[in-house]
Structures are given as structure tokens and as C-alpha cells.
Amino acid sequence: MHDLIPKMFFAALSAAVLSWPTSRADSSSDQQALQADSISLAETSDSTHSAHGTAADTQPAPPPGPIPDSVSGYLIPGLPFVEPPTIRSRHGVLKLELTAMATPVRISGKLVNARVYAATAYGETYPPSYVPPILALDPGDNLQITLKNELGEPTNLHTHGFFISPMGNQDNIFVDLPNGGAFLYNYELPATLSPGLYWYHPHYHPLVEEQVFGGLAGYIYVRGLKQLLPEHLQDVPERFLHLKDFQFNRENTIPARNINSDNPTHRTVNGLVQPTMGMEAGGTQLWHLGNIGADIWYNLELSGLEFTVIAEDGNPVDRAWTATQLLMPPAKRFDVLVQAKKPGAYQLITTQMNTGPWGDDYPQALLATLNVTGPAREPAALPTHIQPFDNLAHATVTQERVFDLSENPNTNKFFINRRVFKPNHVDATPLTGTVEEWRFRNTSLELHPIHLHVNDAQVMSVNGVPQDARSLVDTIPIPYATKDAEGKLVPGEVVMRFKFRKFVGPYVFHCHILAHEDRGMMSIINVTSPGSE
Ligand SMILES: [Cu+2]
């Protein structure tokens, strides 16, 4: 099995080895290693996991049959809030089968053609659903997912936020699982994995947007957050709110081609349009919020109530912070405490917003209604501190890097350092145990949320303003460029630090607006150990 590790990655590189870019700054011994592995790849050409990006690979699935309106029915708003089932680990192991398929499912009462997961685990069958089961784990667990592909096109799986190896059958987004195939992912979670909300979704370039937009995205919850709360809050009710949006065409199919994220869309919470939730006056609830849609943003408000953030992107914060608005780019997660003193109907909305002159405009939308009942009552005291984190502000930085984010609105291509993603191009080769400082400069006129796999980031400054980080994070909006008084373009800029703690191997960073990622805004880093070069 070990042999497969480099081969799967270098399968993705195989075409490249023939024309290795001259601009690559890495050592020539690296290059020799790549060539050596590409030779061994040839010996395994019968492997079901072939290179990414060939014409045959990215052949899209044929469109599904239309669903007549008489069969599809209508979206029903205001249904009671429900959550998907949870599959829990047992004795340190969670073993399940996940099947990605194109099939009709009901979303808030309406039948639409979607791309979704079905699951089986411990003798239970979980039918295909727009919101798949929540996988609940403890730090240190072993997660074994057999992914079966019935989509009609290739796919794979990414565990967003996990601090695990990017190689072999762990968080390896270079795996190419063809239609009809199966692949065993075997994730070894570190005992130190931080508690909070994570998620899973396909990462098969360049079909990621359509697969996530079709419905292929679910939650992973790593337990232990409640134990970080004061004792009087450790048994508060929890709610998992999956934020996903979908569009459907005349044939009642979620589009897979030419998705326009600026089109009118249906925002859903747990696959429901504007569901109703309940809470007792004076009560406290722990909400797990994640934007697991493909492209669009949320700016949440709850009728002026405060969200008390206790974790961000699966990282408990050192100081709890409160906000009446939560900006959530695609992939963003917050674990928050919510309280209401007085009874009433509180509206969870996403406000009107736009993502820049070249970006999208979203109208305000009601997401859910929280009905608070009973006599007014003072809620419990909230915590101010949750858990310290490994603050990198005073770390020794061994390497600085600059990444330019740009786009061409005419060709609809998106670039990092003026290149579209190439499976053969490595942009950086950090060493384990070091801290690097990366400067992202956005010269385009829209926001781009940047996500690095495996290692979380500490935001140091935004547009030159120093930031006092409360935790590490994994999805960071980079502000768009503006013009100064003389009309000169001033890039939006975020400086962040990464500590490459442990895992070696190639992995990616990219814009998590998946249309941008699919159209080029992604790049590879290859982490090595000092002495292994
Ligand atoms: Cu982007």
C-alpha cells in the first residue's frame, strides 16, 4: 500500500515530467525523484487511478432525464427544522460506505435531479439525500470511508480542515476515482485534532463546482467542544445547520454546466427552505454553522441577537467573541452559542451583499425562523475564554512568499501568480517544522476566499492592519483591489503564517469559490522534511 502513495500523486504529474517547467525553483534532486517515480508509474498503468485532467477523465456525465413539474412538485417553505442522521465512531473507529450518485432527491418537498451521497454503516442504510449523514468522531479516531462512484464521471473525497497526511489513502485530492470504481480512504486522526465542525466534499479538478453544487457535501463533527465550555453550559442543546444553495432548471435538474452563481438561488438550511426552529426564552443553544455550498457567500444575522463564536474552522478560539453578523465565504464554519432573553420570532437571514465589482450580488434572504417561547428569562453567563492556541505571532519566520490572485473576466480564467492550475507545477516547497509567512495580493475586483489543505493559517494583517488572531483558521477572504486617489490599483492584501507541523507530501491551496478553483485558481505545494531532500 505504501508504494501507492507517491504513485497516485505522480500519476497526476506524469504528463508534466516530460516538460518540466524551467521556472520551477526546487532542487534538481527533487526533479530526479519525480522522474524516478514516473517510471514506476508506467509499470502500474493498469491502475484504476490514472492521471487527472485527460479528456477521457473529465468527460462529464450525461444529463439525467427531466422530471415533469407534476411529479416534481413545489418547494415548501416553513417546514419544521430537522437534522440529518449522525453516524458515530465506535471504539475509536468509524467505518462506512459512501456512494456518490446522480439521482432525484427531495429538497424542501420538491423532487430534483441532484448529485448526492448515500451511505451504509453498521447495518444501517442511509438513502441518497441532499444533506448526507453527519460523521461524528473523537480526536484520535480512525475513519474508514469506502467511496463508491456511481456519478457517471470521476470523483474523489476531501476532508476539509483535517490535520492529516495529504498522501496515499488519506486526504489525497489527487486520487482519481473513475465511474464504477471504489476507493478505501483510511484517515488516521491525530489525538490532538481540534474539536469543532469539519466537512467532506469531492475535490476532483475541474469538476468540483458541479459536484458540490449538485449536493455532494456533508458535515464531520469532531467532538470535545462542549467540554471546553463552563460546566453550566456543557449540556446545552446542539443544532447542526448545513447552509447550501441550489438552482434548478426547467427539467427540475440542478445544473452541472455553466453554473451562474449570480443567478437567483434557493438558500436552504438542512435541505429545507426557511425551516422553523424552537428555543426556550432564556435558553442557550450551540449552533454548528457551515457554508458548504459551491460558490456563494452568506452574511448571517439573527434579528440583532449576538452570535458568540467559540470555534472557527474547527479551531476553538482563545477568547470567545461576539458578533451580530457572521461573514461566511464558501467553506467557512463557525461554532456559536445563541441565546434569547425574550420570546418572539427571530429571523436568521443572510443580508444583501456583493463580493466586489467583478463578483456577485446577493439579495437578502430568510434562512430560518427561530421561535422563542415561554416567559422572558435572563440567559446563562457566557464564557470569555475557550482554549489557547499555538500563536505564531512571535515565531521565527524562515520563508516569506507572495501569491498574486488575479482573473480575466473576459476569458473567465482565474490565476495564482499569473498561472492557471497545472497538476505539474509546484509553487512552494516548505519544510516540516518551519513557519512561513505568505502574502496574498488580490489584484482582481472581487473577493477570493483562500483555503490551504492540511495546515491552518494565522492571519497577521488585512490590508496592512495588524490582526490579533483568536485562533487558526482555514478559509480566509482576501479583499479585492481598490483604486487610490490617482486611480492607481491597490491590491487587497492578507498576510498569514503557516506552521508546517508534521505532514510531508504534495497538497493544494486554492480559492474556495469552486468555480474559480475549477477555472484555475489553485496551486500545489510540496512539503518535505529537512534532510529528506
Ligand atoms: Cu475566487
Asked if 512 and 449 touch (Cβ cutoff 8 Å), the reply is: yes
What is the signed CA dihedral for 327, 333, 336, 338, rounded to 10 degrees?
60
Based on the fold, state whether residues 212 and 248 are members of the same structural domain: no
Based on the fold, state whether residues 344 and 463 are members of the same structural domain: no
Residue 499 clears pLDDT 90, i.e. is over it: yes
Q: What is the CATH number of the domain that holds 505?
A: 2.60.40.420
- For residue 473, the one-letter residue type is V
pLDDT confidence tier of residue 60, bands split at 50, 70 and 90: confident
Query: What pLDDT digit, counting tens, does each position of 412-449 carry?
Result: 999 999 999 999 899 999 999 999 999 999 999 999 99
Report how far ligand 1's centroid is from the alpha carbon of 473 (Å): 17
Report how far ligand 1's centroid is from the alpha carbon of 512 (Å): 6
DSSP β-bridge partners for residue 120 = 97, 125
pLDDT at residue 413 in the model: 97
* Alpha-carbon distances, residue 237 vs 285, 377, 498 (angstroms): 5, 17, 34
Average pLDDT over residues 478-485: 96
DSSP β-bridge partners for residue 299 = 327
pLDDT confidence tier of residue 62, bands split at 50, 70 and 90: confident
- For residue 142, the one-letter residue type is N
Based on the fold, state whether residues 191 and 239 are members of the same structural domain: no
Based on the fold, state whether residues 193 and 94 are members of the same structural domain: yes
> Which distant-in-sequence residues (6+ apart) come within 8 Å of 30 by Cβ?
429, 526, 528, 533
pLDDT at residue 258 in the model: 93
Tally of structural domains, the chain? 4
Report how far ligand 1's centroid is from the alpha carbon of 526 (Å): 22
User: In 3D, which of 147, 151, 177 has the Cα closest to residue 159?
Assistant: 147
Report how far ligand 1's centroid is from the alpha carbon of 344 (Å): 39
Based on the fold, state whether residues 319 and 428 are members of the same structural domain: no
Report how far ligand 1's centroid is from the alpha carbon of 449 (Å): 6
Q: Is beta strand 333-339 parallel, antiparallel or unpaired with respect to 505-511?
A: unpaired
* Apex 266 CA angle, 265 and 268, nearest 5: 140
* Apex 9 CA angle, 6 and 10, nearest 5: 80
Which backbone phi and psi does 194 adopt, to 5 degrees? -75, 145
pLDDT at residue 392 in the model: 98
Residue 463 clears pLDDT 50, i.e. is over it: yes
Based on the fold, state whether residues 194 and 103 are members of the same structural domain: yes
- For residue 477, give its domain range: 397-527
Let me know how long the chain is.
533
User: In 3D, which of 336, 323, 344 has the Cα closest to residue 277?
Assistant: 344
Task: Please give the share of the chain, as a percent, with pLDDT higher than 70.
Answer: 89
Report how far ligand 1's centroid is from the alpha carbon of 450 (Å): 8
Query: What pLDDT digit, counting tens, does each position of 375-412 carry?
Result: 999 999 999 999 999 999 999 999 999 999 999 999 99
> Which distant-in-sequence residues (6+ apart) come within 8 Å of 478 by Cβ?
405, 440, 442, 447, 448, 449, 450, 492, 493, 494
| Inside any domain, residue 386 | no
| Inside any domain, residue 63 | no
Average pLDDT over residues 55-83: 88
pLDDT at residue 139 in the model: 98
Asked if 475 and 440 touch (Cβ cutoff 8 Å), the reply is: no
Residue 26 clears pLDDT 80, i.e. is over it: no
Based on the fold, state whether residues 74 and 222 are members of the same structural domain: yes
How far is 95 from 113, CA to CA, in rounded Å? 28
